Amino acid sequence: MTTLTTTFSELMNRHRTARQARRKVTNAVMLSLTVLLTLLALIPLFWIIIYVILRGGQYINLDFFTRLPRPPFMPGGGVLHAIEGTIILSILAGLFSIPPGVLAAFYAARNPNTPLGMAVRFGTDVLSGVPSIVIGLIGYALIVEPQGHYSALAGGIALAILMLPIILRTTEEMLKLVPHSLREASLALGAAEWKTSLSVLFPAALNGIITGFLLAIARAAGETAPLLLTALGNDRYDIGQIVRSGLQTHQNVFQILGRIVNQPVDSLPLTLFKYSQQPYPDRISQAWAVALVLMIFVLLINIIARAWVQIRARRLQG
């Protein structure tokens, strides 16, 4: 009788320890699996960065930044047209996205629970989910079709639609973080609502707004799809040339600006895409160099913006 119970409890014990061991092993295996998966997910990041630096770094020189492209099979030449185009497109996109984004954010942050405020926030979410190629179709329908030609203006507006949700969202978040006491103090001193918004809330939230803008520009600068349908590309684009010929024929500033924004332009990602589709080795090499420039630009902006937010947040806490 006693022997039977001991064996039974021994069996139970053995069973239990075996199960414990199995659970421990499962635990260890699965937890280390998450570490492995994290490493796996980061491999492409480092692979891309290192490879682009090695491949692209070989072809970067001064000409690359200061010359227009030369015909295929002729070595040399650069991507000045694309750099100028990217700058023009970014300026236009900023002009069309920052004012409406920031102003709408004032409304959404101030009236989060009104129907319009809720609708704006929901609409922003929807807008940020629209594929960029569809935004390109909108740019085409809004500007290119009525005007009858592709242009930097159309590209800038398409990019602005892409940037709008990012700017609106970050500005709104930042405005919400401004302490109520600041607002109330300003109102108590007799300042009007609009004056409070512009001279108290806006400066207090400015850092966050700039961060949002930087992130939005970094996103827009890397976009290609919408530009295929709006800015199209133009490898003879040369702002210096436009300005010089404009001055010679005594055009005023607006006419010159009009000529700058009213013709098709290239941008860095657009050039990269076109070069990568060509069979010439020189062009492929330049595509890698463009990739390097683009990547440095985008990653630097991202790192700066995020570091800025971190520092600000720490200062506010401390």
Partner 1 sequence: MQITKSIPPPSSGRLQRLLKHGDRPWQMLIMAISAGVLILVVGIGFMLWQQSISAQRVLGLKFILPTLNASWNPALNQFQAWPFIYGTFMTSIMAIFLAVPISLGVAIFLAELCPPWLRLPLNWLVELLAAIPSVVYGLWGIFVFLPKVVVPFGHFLSATLGAVPGLSVFFAGSIPLSGSSRLAAAMILTIMIIPTITAVSRDVLLAVPDHQREAALALGATRWETIWQVLLPYGLSGILGAVILGLGRALGETMAVTMVIGNSIGGSPSLLQPGYTMASIIANEFSESVSGLHTQALIEIGLVLFIITLLLNFIARLLVWRVSRRTPQEARA
Rounded distance, CA 204 to CA 181, Å?
A: 12
Rounded distance, CA 281 to CA 278, Å?
A: 8
90 lies in the site for partner 1, by CB under 8 A:
no
Nearest to 87 by CA among 140, 152, 139: 152
Instruction: List binders of partner 1 among 284-313 (CB under 8 A).
Output: 284, 287-288, 291, 294-295, 298-299, 302-303, 306, 310
- Give 58 or 277: the residue with its C-beta nearer to partner 1: 277
Instruction: List binders of partner 1 among 200-219 (CB under 8 A).
Output: 218-219
> Token pair for residue 294?
């683009």
Stretch that binds partner 1, among 5-13, 66-74, 190-198, 236-244 (CB under 8 A): 190-198
- Give 61 or 277: the residue with its C-beta nearer to partner 1: 277
Rounded distance, CA 232 to CA 264, Å?
A: 6
* Binding-site member from 35, 62, 253, 316 for partner 1 (CB under 8 A): 35
Rounded distance, CA 273 to CA 27, Å?
A: 46
131 lies in the site for partner 1, by CB under 8 A:
yes
Report the alpha-carbon angle 198-177-305, nearest 5.
90
Rounded distance, CA 108 to CA 172, Å?
A: 7
Site string for partner 1, 4-23 (x = CB under 8 A): -------------------x
Phi-psi category of 232—alpha, beta or left, where left has phi over 0 and alpha has psi -120 to 50?
left
Shortest Å distance, C-beta 17 to partner 1: 14
* Binding-site member from 276, 285, 308, 309 for partner 1 (CB under 8 A): 276
* Binding-site member from 53, 91, 138, 210 for partner 1 (CB under 8 A): 138
Rounded distance, CA 5 to CA 202, Å?
A: 79
Rounded distance, CA 157 to CA 307, Å?
A: 29
140 lies in the site for partner 1, by CB under 8 A:
yes
- Give 89 or 221: the residue with its C-beta nearer to partner 1: 221
* Binding-site member from 10, 15, 125, 241 for partner 1 (CB under 8 A): 125
Instruction: List binders of partner 1 among 227-246 (CB under 8 A).
Output: 228-229, 232
